[in-house]
Structure 1
Amino acid sequence: MDSNTEVLLAARAGAAGWELLVERYSRLVWSVPRSFRLSHADAADVYQCTWLCLAEHLTRVRQPEALGTWLVRTATRQSIAVVRARGREVSLDRWEPASTLPAPEEVAVAGDRQRRLWTALMTLNERCQRLLCIAAHSPELSYAQVAEALGMKVTSVGQTRTRCLAALRRKLEDQR
């Protein structure tokens, strides 16, 4: 089974088709919560919720060839919900003995570097943001999987990534 339509029809018909669907898109779905830097437990929750949403909407998918994009968007929404919920909580894991904490200047430098990187990244267009986040957090994904998730041609993934990285470098240099 090559096309998403065939795989989707098989998934609607039974467990073997569902397993093929999960096998095809598992790494892509995992890449999304990883790009949000969620804990393993939270990423697993997002992963399962994404598949549950697909199971609930399996008969309503109208564009099987855009299934990768649908899964990425669903996982993104789930990840954002987790980030928002976790932002309201105070984790006890953050309280560490003073001897294991980095020096204040190390924290300041690292924080500044991260802030500048995220600021520069957020000024890029959405396509570049998504492409670079997927590339950074899931380098094992093939160009075909990345292309499907972003709705672009496989042949343009490398060139687009190169242009996006160059734009990010320029933005970072402009901040100095």
Structure 2
Amino acid sequence: MERVRDYDLTMLIKASINGADDAWDELVRRHARLVAVVIRQYRLRPADAQDVSQIVWLRLIESLEHIREPAALPGWLVTTTRRECQRYAQRGSRTVVVDPATLTSMTAPDAPDAGDALLATERHQVLRDGLAELSPEQQRLIALLSSDPPATYADISRILNIPIGSVGPTRRRVLEKLRQTAAVQSYLRSPTEVKAGGARHVTAELER
């Protein structure tokens, strides 16, 4: 029987979509360093760096089925991680992008945009409100998925006392339920969100 460590990227993505816990763990293992390297370039505060990592992995959970070209996954992760780092910079963090080879500044930080910072704060509050509508067990699952690195399916199965084969389907149901909470749905229908370009990934912007 072929081990997941021998899978190519296409096989890993397909198996992860189908809920294979070992495939998801391997997918994260292969790319965790890439995400961490990008985050380090922005010199975020430790708490912000952890939040960015959590958001990136949650976005991947939501977007995995839509990645049509597996070879594009590393680039997708880099782009997504940079975007989230920049959002945290716009929220007011004193952030400087650095060259990882020399650890010297590459660019001066942009001045925070007050509108973007306010919108990010609003989104995080909406997510906190949405999480409050979930059951304690569902909140625990979200917390485990948001850990850095994300908890393995084996760990989630043990901690939540659920069959390991049900972790993937349960994950998808809980994320969908979060999207359907009154708090998130109200936000998605708001004029502010329309002006901001939509919130297809709003449920990925979680803060512990």
Structure-1-length-normalised TM-score: 0.49
Which structure features the higher share of helix residues? 1
**Rg bigger for which structure?**
1
Q: TM-score, normalised to structure 2's length?
A: 0.42
